[in-house]
Chain A
Amino acid sequence: MGFFDTWFITPFSEIVTAPIFFFEVVLGGLTTGVMYSMVALGFVLIFKASGVFNFSQGIMVLFAALTLVGQMERGVPLWVALPVTMAVMVALAYGIERLVLRPLVNQDPLTLLMATIGLTFLLEGLGEFVWGSNVKRLDLGIPDDSFEFAGMLLNQFELFAAATAAVLVVLLAVLSQKTAIGRALRAVADDHQAATAVGIPLQTIWVTVWSVAGLVALVAGIMWGSKSGVQFSLSLIALKALPVLILGGITSIPGAIIGGLIIGVGEKIGEVYWGPAFGGAIENWFAYVLAMVVLFFRPHGLFGEEIIERV
């Protein structure tokens, strides 16, 4: 009976008796989910355009944040440091395309995945080599006060993060739907060979998409960095972005956003209400199990492109 209670009775009765707290938990989950989405977005962009499962996206987030905060620590004002960091990310994209992707074109996806894991080591060492490995505080003056709204405790910073993510998604949507380069990106994503045949330069597209992913990583880095300090553990959020990614579907941008929100909320609710039944600290694996359960019903994620196999 105790087992039944802790699993099926207590959590629901807690939800019903304190609905305001429940909404706070959901909101907290949503804002964390938004942050996951921002990391997952970078993965999706690169995977769609170049078929590379870019494991180094997490370290790119750290690298971008480190570059920004490292300059600011040395007294460079924000309005100089930010464009410099963006330039560094674009240069990085160019370098990766030139030195890693181009020689590995047409290789097995697994080889490409491994190459990005190698890249992870490289960038991690490089970032710490240049900027030092101590924890850095990133303070861009984003307000971080809590206020009450309709009986719920809200945090300004989290709202700001959600707003930034929304702006980012709108920008990406405009970029991909309304501009010439966006059309080219979508063409490459649909079919590499056909795109090359109509005269879209593949290499330029790859540099562009890795640059865009680098800039998305910068935004994610700023958000995570302001929240929890710029440190090595930042690169581990990439591991959190993976279940988000497969839940939403590796090829879908809306999937990354909605997947992030589902994982964020699911994780928080699971931890708060069902955590005690497991003995706590379940958020490490809960997201993966959640994603796995969804995959049982939809093997390509919620919004992923269905791969039709023919013999």
Chain B
Amino acid sequence: MLYRETGQFKTSYRRDQAIFPIVQDRWSVALVLVAAYGVVPALANEYWLQAVLIPFLVYALAAIGLNLLTGYTGQLSLGTGGFMAVGAYAAYKLTTTLPDLNIVIVFLFAGLMAAAVGLVFGLPSLRIKGLYLAVATLAAQFFLIWLFNRVAWFYNYNPSGTITAPPRTLLGIMVTGPEATAAVRYLMVLSFVVLFALIAKNLVRSEIGRTWMAIRDMDVAAEIIGIRPLTTKLSAFAISSFYCGVAGALMLFAYLGSVETLAFDITVSFEVLFMVIIGGLGSILGSIVGAAFITILPIFLTNAPHLVGLEMPVDLAKEMEAIIFGGFIIAFLILEPRGLARLWQISKEKLRRWPFPY
């Protein structure tokens, strides 16, 4: 009774095709947005913003990107970390070369660079499929990281090999660099995530999204009904990499401030893939929820012993964390292999019938 479509008549095509056709959905999304923009920055302290919320949002953006590729187009990729690195290094190079350029344009440029690189590394997908492709995308991961380590031009011949986000302003407010407050950086990342999530949501329900899904479900059949695998697969790679690139740039400018290539190594690729799978393949909401889950779980596991007053040596705690994290992932996959998005669907069904059992 709390959540149902009954009685909500759609009297125009516009209404029928709205992203959130049900009034309850519109209200809850609006509430979440108000909370995210208004309540959270006012209540959350520096630690929460910096250690939990900003990384969550950055990873959510990367997870949406990977979900477009893996969840919607069915191309398994393990190169996410590499594409994020392209974004970070491109943004850094551009903004240090042209300091006056608007930072938003810098981020978009970073996304475009990542998209171009993604196109190149997406080429094998026309010939290679499934797990073979996954391993082939590892080539992107290792090659790109090696490149950024090896060629000093990328980090401006800095002897330490790290890149540091320079201070930049947007609308007169400091948004990056050490002087920018966590709240401002949070709001900037949040705006990017909201905007790009909206774009992604629209992409997947438009023609391009439908061709992606056709390719995912069976590429031979899709080809026969007139979908070009070349443009479809490559567009998925490019757009997915664009998202990852922007996420990488935000990782540098809004989250870490100063990074080495280590911040984008293979574990990042796996983490983002975890988010997509735990969240739910082929679901934008799932990517966001999955990112929240995977970012917060380790933090929770690290702090949980302190909460119950248990003191452990650091390395023991780390080992226990790995054991519990691994166990949790397996348990989760067994209990709900289709991810958190599926849980949300089930609970929507339940809400529809509430308070009756069926």
Residues of A near B194 (CB, < 8 A) are none
Residues of B within 8 Å of A, CB-based: how many? 47
B262 within 8 A of A: no
In the bound complex, do residue A279 and residue B333 qualify as a contact, i.e. CB atoms below 8 Å apart? no
Interface residues of A in 242-268 (CB under 8 A from B): 242-243, 245-246, 250
A-B interface pairs (CB < 8 A), number: 141
Interface residues of A in 102-156 (CB under 8 A from B): 103-104, 107-111, 113-115, 117-126, 128-129, 133
A311 within 8 A of B: yes
Contact with A along B326-352 (1 / 0, CB 8 A): 111110011001000000000000000
Interface residues of A in 86-116 (CB under 8 A from B): 99-100, 103-104, 107-111, 113-115
Q: How far is the CB of B127 from chain A (nearest CB, A)?
A: 5
In the bound complex, do residue A289 and residue B138 qualify as a contact, i.e. CB atoms below 8 Å apart? no
In the bound complex, do residue A121 and residue B277 qualify as a contact, i.e. CB atoms below 8 Å apart? no
Q: How far is the CB of B113 from chain A (nearest CB, A)?
A: 19
Give the interface centre of B76, B135, B273 by most chain A CB atoms within 10 Å: B135
Contact with B along A283-304 (1 / 0, CB 8 A): 0110011011001100111000
A104, A124, A125, A288: which contacts B333 (Cβ < 8 A)?
Answer: A104
A169 within 8 A of B: no
B101 within 8 A of A: no
Is chain B's binding surface mostly helix, strand, loop or mixed? helix
In the bound complex, do residue A119 and residue B127 qualify as a contact, i.e. CB atoms below 8 Å apart? no
- Which of B178-186, B239-247, B312-320 lies at the binding interface? B312-320
Q: Tell whether A295 pairs with B127 under 8 Å between CB atoms, given A111-B337, A284-B146, A289-B139.
A: yes
B224 within 8 A of A: yes
Q: Tell whether A122 pairs with B322 under 8 Å between CB atoms, given A53-B131, A299-B127.
A: yes
In the bound complex, do residue B273 and residue A299 qualify as a contact, i.e. CB atoms below 8 Å apart? no
Query: With the chains together, A198 CA to B329 CA distance in Å?
Result: 35
Q: How far is the CB of A125 from chain B (nearest CB, A)?
A: 3
Interface residues of B in 248-305 (CB under 8 A from A): 266, 270, 273-274, 277, 281
B128 within 8 A of A: yes
Q: How far is the CB of B74 from chain A (nearest CB, A)?
A: 9
Residues of B near A280 (CB, < 8 A) are 150
In the bound complex, do residue A100 and residue B138 qualify as a contact, i.e. CB atoms below 8 Å apart? no
In the bound complex, do residue B136 and residue A288 qualify as a contact, i.e. CB atoms below 8 Å apart? yes
Q: How far is the CB of B13 from chain A (nearest CB, A)?
A: 33
Residues of A near B136 (CB, < 8 A) are 246, 288, 291-292, 295
Q: Tell whether A121 pairs with B76 under 8 Å between CB atoms, given A103-B334, A110-B277, A291-B139.
A: no
A122, A242, A285, A301: which contacts B146 (Cβ < 8 A)?
Answer: A285
B170 within 8 A of A: no
In the bound complex, do residue A288 and residue B326 qualify as a contact, i.e. CB atoms below 8 Å apart? no
Q: Which chain A residue lies CB-closest to B149?
A: A281
A239 within 8 A of B: yes
Residues of B near A296 (CB, < 8 A) are 124, 127-128
Q: Which chain B residue lies CB-closest to A311?
A: B221
Query: With the chains together, A301 CA to B130 CA distance in Å?
Result: 13
B157 within 8 A of A: no
Give chain A's interface residue range (CB within 8 Å of chain B): 35 or more
Q: How far is the CB of B128 from chain A (nearest CB, A)?
A: 5
In the bound complex, do residue A284 and residue B135 qualify as a contact, i.e. CB atoms below 8 Å apart? no
In the bound complex, do residue A121 and residue B146 qualify as a contact, i.e. CB atoms below 8 Å apart? no
A107, A114, A243, A295: which contacts B128 (Cβ < 8 A)?
Answer: A295
Residues of B near A111 (CB, < 8 A) are 277, 333, 337
In the bound complex, do residue B142 and residue A284 qualify as a contact, i.e. CB atoms below 8 Å apart? yes
Q: How far is the CB of B322 from chain A (nearest CB, A)?
A: 3
B220 within 8 A of A: yes
Residues of B near A243 (CB, < 8 A) are 135, 138
In the bound complex, do residue B138 and residue A121 qualify as a contact, i.e. CB atoms below 8 Å apart? no
Interface residues of A in 149-186 (CB under 8 A from B): none
In the bound complex, do residue A250 and residue B330 qualify as a contact, i.e. CB atoms below 8 Å apart? no
In the bound complex, do residue A295 and residue B124 qualify as a contact, i.e. CB atoms below 8 Å apart? yes
Q: Tell whether A104 pairs with B337 under 8 Å between CB atoms, given A115-B330, A118-B330.
A: yes
In the bound complex, do residue B326 and residue A125 qualify as a contact, i.e. CB atoms below 8 Å apart? yes
Query: With the chains together, A278 CA to B150 CA distance in Å?
Result: 9
Query: With the chains together, A2 CA to B155 CA distance in Å?
Result: 25
Q: Tell whether A122 pairs with B129 under 8 Å between CB atoms, given A117-B274, A129-B319, A281-B146.
A: no
Q: How far is the CB of B18 from chain A (nearest CB, A)?
A: 31
In the bound complex, do residue B128 and residue A120 qualify as a contact, i.e. CB atoms below 8 Å apart? no
Residues of B near A239 (CB, < 8 A) are 138, 266
In the bound complex, do residue A125 and residue B135 qualify as a contact, i.e. CB atoms below 8 Å apart? no
Residues of A near B76 (CB, < 8 A) are 110
Q: Tell whether A125 pairs with B132 under 8 Å between CB atoms, given A119-B330, A239-B138, A288-B139.
A: no
Q: Which chain A residue lies CB-closest to B281?
A: A110
Residues of B near A123 (CB, < 8 A) are 326
Q: Tell whether A125 pairs with B322 under 8 Å between CB atoms, given A114-B277, A250-B131, A289-B143.
A: yes
Q: How far is the CB of A100 from chain B (nearest CB, A)?
A: 6
19 contacts between A and B (CB under 8 A): A100-B330, A104-B333, A104-B337, A118-B325, A125-B324, A126-B319, A239-B138, A246-B135, A250-B131, A279-B150, A284-B142, A285-B142, A285-B143, A285-B146, A288-B138, A288-B143, A296-B127, A311-B220, A311-B221
Knowing that A103-B334, A125-B323, A299-B128 touch, tell me 7 more A-B residue pairs with CB under 8 angstroms.
Answer: A107-B337, A111-B333, A113-B131, A121-B325, A242-B135, A295-B132, A311-B221
Report which B residues bind A (CB closer than 8 A).
70, 76, 124, 127-132, 135-136, 138-139, 142-143, 145-146, 150-151, 218, 220-221, 224, 266, 270, 273-274, 277, 281, 315-316, 318-330, 333-334, 337
Top 10 nearest A-B pairs by Cβ distance?
A125-B322, A122-B326, A121-B326, A118-B329, A288-B139, A125-B323, A285-B142, A129-B319, A285-B143, A103-B334
